[in-house]
Amino acid sequence: MLTNKLKNMDYENSPWKHFKLIMCTYKSASDKKPIHRKTKKEFNDFLEETMEDGTHEQMIDTWFSLDSKTKNIDLKSLKDINGTIKVALIEGTAPFTFLANNQYSGLMVDLVARFAKRYQYGVKFEGYSGLGAVISAVNSGLADIGAAPITITKEREQAVLFSNCFYEDKMGILLRKEDKVVFTTPSSE
Q: What confidence tens digit (pLDDT) does each residue in 25-59 have?
A: 333 334 445 456 777 888 889 999 999 999 999 99
| pLDDT of the residue at 16 | 34
Question: Quick one: which H or E segment has residue 28?
Answer: none
CA distance 187 to 39: 53
The residue that leads in pLDDT, 108 or 183, is 108
Q: 141-176: per-residue pLDDT in tens? A: 899 888 888 877 888 887 788 888 887 776 677 777
Amino acid sitting at position 147: A
| pLDDT of the residue at 24 | 37
| pLDDT of the residue at 104 | 92
Q: Is pLDDT above 60 for 12?
A: no
| pLDDT of the residue at 112 | 93
| pLDDT of the residue at 109 | 93
User: 77, 83, 96: which is closest to 147 by C-alpha?
Assistant: 96
The residues, ordered by sequence, that sit 6+ positions from 57 with a Cβ below 8 Å of its Cβ are: 1, 2, 3, 51
In terms of pTM, does the model score above 0.85? no
| pLDDT of the residue at 125 | 95
| pLDDT of the residue at 8 | 42
